[in-house]
Amino acid sequence: MLQGNAVIAQSGGPTAVINSSVCGAVQTWLAAENRPGTIYAAISGIKGFFDEDLLDLSAQPAEAIAGLRWTPGAGLFSCRYKVSEEEYPRLVEICQKYNIRYFFYNGGNDSMDTCNKMSLAAEKLGYEMRVIGIPKTVDNDLPITDHCPGFASAAKYLAATVMETGIDLASVATKNKVCIIEAMGRNAGWLTAAAALAKRTPDEAPHLIYLPEVPFDTEQFLRDVQVVYDRLGYCFVVASEGIMDKDGNYIAADGRVDAFGHAQLSGAGETLKNLVEERLGLKARCNTLGTAQRSAMHFASKTDADEAYATGVRAVELALAGKSGLMITLNREPGEEYRCTLGEAPLSSVANVEKKVPREWVNAEGNYVTDDFIKYCRPLIEGEVAVPMRGGLPDYVALNMQLGRVQK
C-alpha cells in the first residue's frame, strides 16, 4: 500500500448532506487497518490547501466526526476558486511537503476538473498519488452518475415547502391569488423540477414549473398563469433562478433602476411577481427560499444522506485499494424497486460537463415536467433523517479548529 497521508476538502456551495460524505470518508480512513498515515482537512477547500491551512482530523473527538453526518454547511469550509494551470505544480509541492499521497475532493463539476488536473500534474512530476472525487451538488448536474448526493435532500425540502405553501395558498385564495417560489439552479433545472413531487391530485400545487433548459417567454407565462387562475381562482408557480429568454438573457435582470439610477438585479421570482401584478392585476407573492434549500438537514432525505455517506466510504476504499483519477458514481439498478449501487467514472469524463434536464422530461408547452421525471425523482426523497435535537432545534456540530491544526 502506498504510504503517506491523506487530505480531504470541500468546494462550492454546500448541501444538506455534504458532510455525510466527509464523515464516511474520514471514519473509513481512521478505521482502516494499517492506515498509511493520517488524514488532514484542507480548511476552505483548495484555497486553504494553497495556504497550507491543514487540520489533522485524527485529533478531533470521534463524536465530532460522527456529528458531521447530520450537520449541514461545509464542515471543512468551502471555497470557490479556479486553480490556474501554472498553480498545479505548487499543489503537488505542498503534497510532497506534508507527505500527502491521497487527495479527496468533495464538490461539483469545477472540483472534478481540479481533481483531474491535479492528478495529471502529479503524474507529470512523477509524484505517485491517489486522487478521488466525491460528488455533491444540489444542482444534480454531474454527468454519468444517476444523480448527485445533496440533490435529493434539497428536492425533498423544496417539494414539502411547495406542498405546504400550496395548501396555504389554496386556503386563503380570497386574498392572495398567485404564489411564486424561486428555486435554486442557475443552469440546470433538476431542483426546480422536483417541486412537482408535491402534487398528489391534478389541482394541487404546483401548477406551472419553469426550468432554465426551456427558453422563457414572458407573454406565454402570463397566459399560462391566467389559464390556471381562471380555472381555480389561484395559481402556484415554481421557477428556477436561472430562467432566461430565447436570446439567453436572464429574466432576473429586468432593467429596473433604484433611487440612484443604478440598474438593479432582482431575482427571477420577484420579477415574475411584479409581472403578474402589473400585467394581470392579480395580487402575487414570491417566496425565495435561497440557501435554506441546500442546508435543510432537518428534513433531509434518508436515501440521500445514506448515499452521500456511502460515496465517502467508497472513495477511501478505492484509494486504499490503489485506484485513482476517479469520481464515485451512483448507479441506479434496473427494475421497478429503487436500488442504487456505487460505481466510478474517470475524472476526465466528468470534469466540466454539465448534465441538464432532458427536453423530453419537460412537457410540450415547456411549463411542467413529465411523469418520467417524477418516476426518476420520487425514490430519491424517500425516508427521513432523525437529526439529534437539543432545546427544540437540531444539535449540529462544528469541528474544533484548534485541535490538530498543522504548524506550517
Question: Which CB atom, from 303 or from 311, has the smaller least distance to a copy of itself?
Answer: 303
Hey, which residues between 321 and 360 contact a copy of itself (CB under 8 A)? none
Q: Residue 101's closest CA among 7, 231, 199?
A: 7
Of 214 and 376, nearer to a copy of itself (C-beta) is 376
CB closer to a copy of itself out of 157 and 326: 157
* Residues between 140 and 169 with contacts to a copy of itself, criterion CB under 8 A: 156, 159-161, 163-165, 167-169
Smallest gap, in angstroms, from Cβ of residue 398 to a copy of itself? 8
Please say which residue, 5 or 293, places its beta carbon nearer to a copy of itself. 293
Q: Residues 2 to 41: which contact a copy of itself by CB under 8 A?
A: 13-14, 16
Residue listed under C-alpha cell 498543522: 406
Of 385, 315, 313, 309, nearest to 344 (Cα)?
Answer: 315
71 lies in the site for a copy of itself, by CB under 8 A: yes
Q: Give me the catalytic one of 53, 139, 141, 254.
A: 139
| Minimum CB–partner distance for residue 155 and a copy of itself (Å) | 9
Residue 354: CB minimum distance to a copy of itself, A: 20
User: Which of 73, 149, 206, 212 lies at the binding interface for a copy of itself (CB under 8 A)?
Assistant: 73
Q: How far apart are CA 385 and CA 374, in angstroms?
A: 22
Task: Compute the distance between CA of residue 374 and CA of residue 106 in angstroms, rounded to an integer.
Answer: 27
Residue 210 and residue 253: Cα distance in Å, rounded? 16
- 220 forms part of the interface with a copy of itself (CB under 8 A): no
- Coil, helix or strand for 212? coil
Instruction: Say whether residue 202 binds a copy of itself (CB under 8 A).
Output: no
Check if 217 is active-site: no
Q: Is 238 helix (H, G, I), strand (E, B) or coil?
A: strand
Q: Which is nearer to a copy of itself, 56 or 168 (CB)?
A: 168
The amino acid sitting at 208 is L
Size of the site for a copy of itself (CB under 8 A): 74
Q: For residue 59, count other CB atoms closer than 10 A to its CB.
A: 15
Q: Does 364 bind a copy of itself (CB under 8 A)?
A: no
Closest approach of a copy of itself to the CB of residue 325, in Å: 27
Q: Is 59 or 170 the residue whose CB approaches a copy of itself more closely? A: 170
Helix (H) / strand (E) containing 134: strand 130-135
**What kind and span of H or E run contains 291?**
none
Question: Among residue numbers 86 through 145, which ones bind a copy of itself (CB under 8 A)?
Answer: none
Nearest-angstrom CA–CA distance, 309 and 206? 32
Q: Which three cell numbers stand for residue 382?
A: 424517500
Q: Are 166 and 322 in contact (CB under 8 A)?
A: no
From the CB of 62, what's the least distance to a copy of itself, in Å? 21
Contacts with a copy of itself, 171-190, as mask; x by CB under 8 A? xxxxx---x-----------
Q: Shortest approach of a copy of itself to residue 110 CB, angstroms?
A: 13
* Of 36 and 185, CB closest to a copy of itself: 185
Min dist CB 160 to a copy of itself, Å, is 5
What CA–CA distances, in Å, run from 46 to 10, 118, 209?
8, 11, 36
DSSP assignments along 32-52, one per residue? STT-SS-EEEETTHHHHHHTT
206 cis-preceded (ω within 30 degrees of 0): yes
- Cα–Cα distance, 179 to 247 (Å, whole number): 27
Output 51 or 93, the one with its CB closest to a copy of itself.
Answer: 51
By the rule CB under 8 A, 283 interacts with a copy of itself: no
Under rule CB under 8 A, residue 298 binds a copy of itself: yes
Here's the x/- map for a copy of itself, 379-408, by CB under 8 A: it reads as --xxxx----x-xxxx-x-x----------
How far apart are the C-alpha atoms of 240 and 191, rounded to whole Å? 8
Instruction: Select from 50-58, 296-304, 345-353, 355-363 the region that touches a copy of itself (CB under 8 A).
Output: 296-304
Angle at 379 between CA 375 and CA 382, to 5 degrees: 145
If you count them, how many residues does the chain have? 408
Do strands 389-390 and 393-394 pair parallel, antiparallel, or not at all (unpaired)?
antiparallel
- The reply to whether 70 sits near a copy of itself by the rule CB under 8 A is no
What minimum distance in Å lies between the beta carbon of 248 and a copy of itself?
19
106 bridge partner residues: 10, 134
Which residues ranging from 234 to 263 are in contact with a copy of itself (CB under 8 A)?
254-260, 262
What DSSP designation does 366 have? S
Point out the residues that are catalytic: 139
